[in-house]
Chain A
Amino acid sequence: MKDGLEQVGDMMILTGKTVVSALRPPYPYGGEFVNQFLFALRLCWFPLLVSTVAFGYGAPGLQAGNFLILFGAIDRLGGFFVLASIREFAPFVTAIIVSGVAGTAITADLGARKIREELDALQVLGVDPVKNLVVPRFLSLMVITGLFNIYALLFGILGGVIATLTFNAPLGPFFSTLLTNASIPDLWGSVLKTTCFGAIIAIISCYKGMTASGGAEGVGRAVNQAVVAATTTVFAFNYVFTQVLLATHPEISVIK
């Protein structure tokens, strides 16, 4: 328990250091930022595509569609997708995929460097590992998670479209209820939320990678702990965020 609290404290310190050294000149991390961004994009695009279509078709599409079809109100499925896909499930799935794919890759990469003592070597050479390794990963993961959210909700809605077609329902009412119910706070809330998810995942993955120890098992163990910690923290944060968003913006939960 004490160990866990110490780690939380260390992660807070790392967050502070990262933000400070991201803002304070010089800015040597431009190239690494682009590299990391493309790296995450290459790894994540396909798993995210499969997962969001599958999730959108199964959970909100079929289950809610089945429920609505009992009342002959299948056109309302589009309105439900605002709640389901934009507000909850697209951010969920994005967070899981980013932490499972990009986060684990970051931890494995930094953990390997730590085990090979490359991080110590960098420090001896006068290169700050936080500025040159953590900051670009932190920034690129923040940006890419927010952008991936848009991608995920588009493909989530594609899942809903497939579900609507399997019910032999026309697509026009689906899109009209989707667009009348969608609101700007929904969208920016969703993007803001996933950007925060990206920051959480990046800090936890980098921290676990940079503190890996114990030879062969150490790196694997670090990846394991990183992904567990990232998932739990993201979902706990999500609950608080949803609560605040729904309570402070009552107009978004009005059915139009």
Chain B
Amino acid sequence: MGNTWTAVPREWIASFGEIVKFGITVTGEVLGGRVFKFFGEALRQSGILILGSALVIWGLAFILGLTCGLEGAYFNRSVGSPAYAGVFSAWCDLREVIPYAWGYMLSAKVGTGIVAEIGAARITDEVDALEVMGISSMTFLCATRLFAAILVFPFMYTAAIGAGFFASYLAVVQQIGEVSSGGFFLIFWMFQNPPDLLFSIIKAMSMAFAIVIVGLYYGYTASGGPVGVGTATAKSMVLNTVLVHLIGMLGTQVFWGQDPRAPIGG
């Protein structure tokens, strides 16, 4: 990997169609209801997601919420309106930084985790063994994980937003302390409403969907022994970080590009 300067972009273009085809197949397995044959396995995967990834995702959201609050407090102090730090926190957290934190941590923790697990199963011929036993490996390994993601992620993400909000509150009100708690929350809630939350969730869920599909693809098609699993894991992370940024930009453009949705002016 990476012998010439254009190796990375060329490889993406080569595998893009494959990934889309793979994604459509897996989504079809879930939407077609075949995944319910392995509902127990899907629940087990949901449990693994919650126990393994929830805390670290909330932790990252918390740290970035602190940074957002800090920058917001200093920025608003510099323009002479420390009372309005809530605007910065509300927009920074809900619209941009928590979705990005979610995308980063999901591709780091869940995406590469999926590649490592399924890739190992592929290398040790467990996938072929499943097929021999008459179990569709696509349904059992891939569709169950996607279904588990659909079950768990909306709730996990909403909680992550909560962690970010709490951290911004701590940074602005408790740490910098130039605005009262009530003053902060007045502005903070004035500058966001339920549609904003919905847009933010749509943005994050698109990222999550892309990350899980890319992870499943690279794991399912891994080859070349133990080294191959490591390389596939690394490659999936590269593609995922770029996808996260592109989806983030598109989401911002679509949801807030024309209408800032702020209670100012007419």
Residues of A within 8 A of B (CB): 39, 42-43, 45-47, 50-51, 54-55, 57-59, 62-63, 66-67, 69-71, 80, 83, 87-88, 93, 96-97, 100-101, 104-105, 107-109, 111-112, 115-116, 215-224, 227-228, 231-232, 235-236, 238-239, 242-243, 246, 253-255
Contact = CB atoms under 8 A, between A and B. Distances in A.
A104 B8 CA distance: 14
Q: Ordered nearest first, which 7 A-B pairs have the shortest CB separation? A: A220-B116, A108-B230, A66-B260, A219-B230, A217-B120, A104-B234, A58-B249
Contact of B2 (A43, A232, A235): A43
B193 interface: no
A107 B6 CA distance: 22
B210 interface: no
B34 interface: no
A101 B9 CA distance: 13
Given A55-B245, A216-B120, A231 B104 contact: yes
Nearest to A108: B230
Interface stretch (B74-82, B153-161, B178-186): B74-82
B113 A255 contact: no
Nearest to A256: B78
Given A43-B2, A58-B96, A112-B226, A253 B74 contact: yes
Given A219-B226, A239-B67, A104 B237 contact: yes
Nearest to B72: A83
B47 interface: no
Interface residues of B, number: 70
B66 interface: yes
A38 B100 CA distance: 28
Given A63-B256, A108-B230, A219-B227, 18 more contacts: A43-B1, A45-B5, A46-B8, A69-B260, A70-B264, A100-B238, A105-B1, A105-B234, A107-B230, A216-B225, A220-B112, A221-B116, A224-B116, A227-B108, A231-B104, A232-B59, A236-B63, A238-B67
